[in-house]
Chain A
């Protein structure tokens, strides 16, 4: 249970929210008004490909410290999602089947 005043609770949501929104706004505040330099423009194109790869690793960041069982469950589910997506090419199907499979592994095995 939470033992904080309403003001404290408010601040603990408001302050990180403010920081997150400043981080989101910063590129637009810095570069948003002037003409965009060719360097920034060429950077915008390859960046998504790199960031998505980073985000996949971010989701799997528990692996170096995880147990063998946890890691095998995670890898099995990731392989299932990848396999489904490569063969069926249906995002909703890959995601939902993969997640149900993972949750079954986590809860039952």
Chain B
């Protein structure tokens, strides 16, 4: 259970963030006329924060399934890139492997890649608890929001800043921990350029493809230099 205690402490910022963000989703869903059951279904099955907010507006507008599917593909294309950092880790998880793949989100990806897990702890088990607790908090928050709905006398506008704040703290931690700032600067630079070029709705996919290609080329060159010059 050491893994559980370690995971619980590290995941706390995500647990708080998720509960309130998901409550916002639940309230929106309830106001659109759907109850806690649907909120739980979406939070267990989709489990993608930003997209679930969009789904509510699609449901209210009666948007076509093709548009819904395409938007999911574009908005969640970033999820595709997260797995690459955990290919070997998750495989060691045994029966936990499918769930680890299922529940890797922006926030758990960010936290898990920035954790320096002590060697005596089992990595996949820590990852499993971080991800399970995070999703539990997300599901509970959305059910709470949908069940309480309008009864919560509070305007949640601006609550999504939780996510921004969480990411800012993670970037700062990563920046201090890393000697090589090229990947972070590449990420900032390319996303800002693509945002200005193609706009907020479409910039994520080109940004991630471009960044991945550049990092692949540069890490390939580094690997080659290391072989050519073994000193």
Check A46–B90 contact: CB distance below 8 A: no
A82 and B88 contact, Cβ closer than 8 Å, known pairs A54-B204, A61-B195: no
- Chain B, 54-105, CB within 8 A of any chain A CB: 55, 58-60, 62-63, 65, 68-69, 71-73, 76-88, 90-91, 101-102, 104
Check A20–B48 contact: CB distance below 8 A: yes
Interface assignment of A91: CB less than 8 Å from any CB of chain B: yes
A53 and B191 contact, Cβ closer than 8 Å, known pairs A17-B42, A27-B87: yes
The chain B residue with its CB closest to the CB of A19 is B72
A32 interface neighbour in B55, B91, B164, B173, Cβ under 8 Å: B91
Interface string of B179-211 (1 = CB under 8 A from A): 011111111101110011001100110011001
A19 interface neighbour in B73, B164, B173, B215, Cβ under 8 Å: B73
Check A15–B188 contact: CB distance below 8 A: no
Check B45–A43 contact: CB distance below 8 A: no
A51 and B109 contact, Cβ closer than 8 Å, known pairs A19-B76, A42-B220: yes
Check A47–B84 contact: CB distance below 8 A: yes
A107 and B157 contact, Cβ closer than 8 Å, known pairs A24-B101, A85-B172: yes
Interface assignment of B163: CB less than 8 Å from any CB of chain A: yes
Pick the interface stretch among B11-19, B121-129, B141-149.
B11-19
Check A43–B212 contact: CB distance below 8 A: yes
For the complex, would chain A's binding face be called helix, strand, loop or mixed by DSSP majority? helix
The CA of A89 and the CA of B185, in the complex, are separated in Å by 22
The CA of A95 and the CA of B164, in the complex, are separated in Å by 9
The CA of A36 and the CA of B216, in the complex, are separated in Å by 14
Closest CB in chain A relative to B16 CB, distance in Å? 7
A13 and B167 contact, Cβ closer than 8 Å, known pairs A20-B51, A27-B84, A54-B187: no
Check A9–B59 contact: CB distance below 8 A: yes
The chain A residue with its CB closest to the CB of B155 is A107
The CA of A31 and the CA of B86, in the complex, are separated in Å by 11
The CA of A52 and the CA of B162, in the complex, are separated in Å by 15
B172 interface neighbour in A17, A62, A86, A105, Cβ under 8 Å: A86
Closest CB in chain B relative to A39 CB, distance in Å? 6
Closest CB in chain A relative to B102 CB, distance in Å? 6
